[in-house]
Structure 1
Amino acid sequence: MWKKIEGGITKPQGFLASGVHAGFKKAKLDLALLSFENTVSAGVFTQNAFAASPVKLTKKHLALGNLKALVVNSGNANACTGLQGDNNAYLTAKIAADMLKIKPEDVAVSSTGVIGQQLDMETMKSGLLTATSTLSKEGANDFALAIMTTDTYPKEITLECTIDGTTYSLSGVAKGSGMIHPNMATMLCFITTDWPIDQITLQSYLKEAVEESFNAISVDGDTSTNDMCLIFSSQILPKPAKEKETIFLDGLKKICGYLAKTIVLDGEGATKLLQIKVQNALSQEDAKLAAKAVAHSPLVKTAFFGEDANWGRILCAVGYSGSTVDPNKTDLYLGNWQIVKNGQGTDISESVLAPILKEREIEITIDLNLGDSEYIFQTTDLSYDYVKINGSYRS
């Protein structure tokens, strides 16, 4: 039903965007603006106790139900910045609101970058002046570039489908490369659509889509202070019949799933994407515990970076995960090859596994043989470059 097309966050009707260099970063685009009217909005946010000032502000503004603009800066997270940081987040909304002739509470604010530094509000003001004057339907790619930090490429996807003669669009853009281990949110993700839908349903669908995508990935096990996922639905086109809303949910899950995978593929220093599937667990919670333990194990991640089929590290992580496990029933597969049967290694040759370990994407299947529940989690390997990137992040 949904098909992938060219276009960005402004493809759905009712949205304009821009991305400019304000000066938060040395040279690259670092300030993004999205403008819209007559929309319904929903969002999910980080559960980190040190939630950044823009996260706290945007949660308040979202609850008021009248968002008309989004400001995103990169290069400075405005996190752990106290009352001044809170004031700067509000001032960001107010400056944008004054320029767009709307109210400050109509503006969502998001930031990403270095933690613990105050925003330069003169830089913000001059940048927003340029951003508001360059808003257009053609600004989607600049928006995607402006929200990036250590990302190596912009992450965008647009889908469309036709229902009863009307064509609807869904578009998403995300950033994320490190500090990736979401909890009820993603890194930064912004989704637009011209499929009209009520707020309660939109919030429910967003949570469901995020749980299956962004909440099922990890690069380094760190949950950011700034994680935020927002969706905006313009109310311009005719509203499809209520029973067609499952089609919308399917599209939203495709958007989130695609963006989550691109974030893992672009993980800082990553050379491989590891898809960990735990199947036949006693419960989904058991499957989740086992999958996450494997995904977060530095020993597992470094083994795959070194292209070493060290399956003992995988079983070790499953064993301490807290999941219900019977070692005498546990099987393990690398790709299509069984390397562990009933808790013991098979006699498969290392030469058979070598080509699999060189692949960019590797599937690891852990069969607990205790029930019928499963869970899939995606992560990366852990390389020298991850240490290099994060050892000099502020320089």
Structure 2
Amino acid sequence: MTNAAPALRLPRAFWTYWAGVTLTALGDAAVYVALPFLALATHPAEGAGAVGGVVLAGSLPRFLAPLLGGLADRLAPRGLLAFSAGLRALAVAAAGLLATSGTLPLAALLALAFLNGLLSTLAYATGSALVPRLVAPSLLARANSLNSGALMGAPLLGYGLGGLLIHLLGAGGTLLVSAPLILGLALATLALPALAGAGAGERVQPLADLLEGLCVIRRSPLLLALLGMSFALNAAMNVMNVRAPLHMTALGRGAPDYAAFEMLISGGVLAGIALVTPLAARWSLDALIGGGRWVLVASALGFVLTPVPVWWGAAVVFGLGLGLLEVAATTRSQQIVPDGLRGRVIGALMGVNALGLTLGAALAARPLGTPPLMLGLSGALALLALTWPLALRANRRTAPPVGHVRPAE
């Protein structure tokens, strides 16, 4: 009886990691807001081209996720997390100093955006492989809910903080204030257990790591189904990122309506994340994943209609399905993939998702009306939702399942 209560509590090491992630996510959000304004303020002649370059530079590192996932498998997580957060904080502080002195060239700003995206991707892959090693399997869904809540909830405050700081201190001053927050994860690693890399001793081979990650995914019907839905979701989200501001400008009040749209999506995401733990007590993660897919289909159909209030309602539903699916799918994939391969599989997933983001941007740039475009995406999401029961049946026929772990002796 004495061991039952502690088994229900998340360990101190997880809470330490969670606190560091929360602080760093807060600083990251302020930096995210500051970089476009910094590009406009320091290089007004380039205008939208400078902002677009910064966004592109920050997105490109996703294609390097397979390499970073291999590092996350092989190297000690404490060192990787401390390195990624520490170097990011140093780079952000240096850029802030240059910006406040008026000597920040565009090339340095692009380098900062790329480095920030690269190290953020490394930290995400490392944390995704680390969390299952910090908590008991029965607490994994709860830990992932809290972790996703920090990664998606802290930015809500961070965006507001960034806007306030830009108003008071300028974009350069905002970077200087954000740097100590980003350092939070590096400081938190000092209290983490000194774990070796799960795949320590193996040589990093980027192409082989990508192929190995894809091979693990290919052997698992569930991972294949999760990959397909994740790819389509990233494409849909980039379509919305491009079309929503245009839609709100054409049919609404522009920026205020778009800000409300983004806040409603974020609120829905947090609600979906919060629902995972109570729902997982009654239904399996597989059932939650199946239900979350249909929630996303319903929300995508809402974007086929044109009134702005309908888009707001669809944004809440979309966020709800996204938050639910994010935690449930992350937890399920961590259960499927064995320790020592999680980083490579996560890296392969992120690399494929980068292709989805690219496809979404290309689709949104086409001269196609938003209603037919969203109707086509809704149909694609519905077809992918129908594949989940098929994947479950195929997985039951797989023996042994990918990543099967024998009970502890």
> After TM superposition, is the score higher than 0.5?
no
Q: Which protein is richer in strand relative to its size? A: 1
Q: Which protein is richer in helix relative to its size? A: 2
Asked which structure has the greater RCO (Cα within 8 Å, sep 6+), the reply is 2
TM-score by length of 1: 0.30
